[in-house]
Copies of this chain bind each other. A is one copy, B any other.
Amino acid sequence: MRSAIVDHVLDPTALLAEVASADSGASTLFVGTVRRVNDGREVLGIDYSAYTPMAESELAAVVAEAAERFGTAHVVVEHRLGTLALGEASIVIAVSHARRASAMGAQKYVIEQVKARVPIWKREHYADGTREWVDPTRATPAGTPVAGLP
């Protein structure tokens, strides 16, 4: 297993090859990409930033947990930082396992945990020229802050 926070273009094919094994019957790849529309606003690109040393240790912990829970050492994740254009990949998760259900389960575990706890942030650039930090905990439309300081 392996995880990394990187600042270069991700290579899904290389990660898929990295988890390949003759003992695996299923390999899965998850690629998160910058999409054109979020919350109804047109997105031009995203800046990803991180609390890098903690992001690295949390991501490594997530991968180790997935490997333990689903019973495979073949789990590799890379998350990219920096400014990404439309369609570019921010995260690639590759898993292989003897059984497909476990490969898919490990993949889902990794992406859900990354989104819940790895300290990475994204600031979207909108077509109207504004930029905004994405807050997944905010249910209201973007641009309407609702949570005050504690």
Residues of B contacting A33 with CB < 8 Å?
20, 24-27, 96
Query: What is the chain B residue whose CB lies nearest that of A32?
Result: B26
Flag A80-115 by CB within 8 Å of B: 1 or 0 each.
Answer: 000000110000000010101000100110010000
A1 at the interface (CB under 8 A from B): no
CA distance A29 to B15 in the complex (A): 12
Residues of B contacting A12 with CB < 8 Å?
13, 16, 29
Q: Tell me if A108 and B104 are in contact (CB < 8 A).
A: yes
CA distance A25 to B108 in the complex (A): 15
Q: Tell me if A28 and B28 are in contact (CB < 8 A).
A: yes
Residues of B contacting A26 with CB < 8 Å?
30-33
- Give the distance to chain B from A98, nearest Cβ to Cβ, in Å: 6
Residues of B contacting A34 with CB < 8 Å?
22, 25
A35 at the interface (CB under 8 A from B): yes
A127 at the interface (CB under 8 A from B): no
Q: Tell me if A87 and B22 are in contact (CB < 8 A).
A: yes
- Given A28-B30, A29-B28; A37-B16 close (CB under 8 Å): no
CA distance A111 to B28 in the complex (A): 12
A23 at the interface (CB under 8 A from B): yes
A131 at the interface (CB under 8 A from B): no
- Given A37-B23, A86-B22, A111-B100; A16-B29 close (CB under 8 Å): yes
